[in-house]
Amino acid sequence: MTLKSKTALITGSTSGIGLAIARALAAEGCDVAINGLGDAADIEKERAGIAADFGVKAIYAAADMTKPAEIAAMIAQTERELGSLDILVNNAGIQFVSPVEEFPIDKWDAIIAINMSAAFHAMRAAVPGMKQRGWGRIISTGSAHSLVASPFKAAYVAAKHGVAGLTKTVALEVATHGVTVNLISPGYVWTPLVEKQIPDTMKARNLTREQVINDVLLTAQPTHEFVKPEEVAALVVFLCSDAAKQITGANLSMDGGWTAA
């Protein structure tokens, strides 16, 4: 399979799952736009590395995912600089752990904006071009928390449930236009996002770091293993293939059996 001549935008792709997805799509010949936070030199290193390693065009789009106008401008930039936008991966996400009665309002607003509303704004801007070209793939990074809840994660769980509903709705709207819309819902993936929430969970539950990893995170996954970013990326690549053209509106679990119970 090759995605040569296709273009992709992956939000939240300067590290972790998003970067793995960007590199996997580039390995299939896809030109890519990366987006996310971080040190400018580090971001440029990753962008240049993708271009050099895979012989594709790679650009950086510095949109703030809390700002709808910047998200729309990022879609337009990708179409302008890469020629089209064929694959949209909504991956940007943040997390905060706190009991609901202590949950900071600004944290709630930011998580809803970045984890859920940003996916809507990106889809809204990307769908017209995909419909016009008669081909598109929209894939969002969900979570086992799009299907089940955990305590102290009110905003994150709400946002991921919201993206699941958004995925189904948009999939139905574009079903006759050659565009598929799907959600990949991993369990715990060892990324900077997961690592950073460990101290908050230690505080919220009065546990040690080891207890959080083994008794809170991995206890939910029957395999007792973290999902690898490269495994999520491989599923994204498959969903972009012609073999997956009848998979749309789906929420695909990749959680070591977490939500099987």
Whole-number Å distance between alpha carbons of 22 and 49: 11
Nearest one of 148, 152, 261, 149 to 207, comparing CA atoms: 152
Residue in this structure with the two tokens 């752990």, named with its chain if needed: 97
CA distance 15 to 188: 16
Of residues 108, 156, 188, 258, which has the active-site annotation? 156
Phi and psi at residue 162, to the nearest 5°: -65, -45
Chain-centroid distance, C-alpha 139: 8
| Token pair 């908050």 in the structure block, residue | 200
Cβ neighbors of 203 (< 8 A, separation 6 or more) are: none
Measured in Å, how far apart are the chain's first and last C-alpha atoms? 35
- Give the integer Cα–Cα distance in Å for 191 and 94: 12
CA distance 249 to 147: 14
Say whether 2 sits in a helix, a strand or coil.
coil
If residue 232 lies in a helix (H) or strand (E), which one and from where to where? helix 229-239
Per the annotation, the verdict on 188 as an active-site residue is no
Helices (H), 55-117: 68-82, 105-112
**Residues annotated as part of the active site:** 156
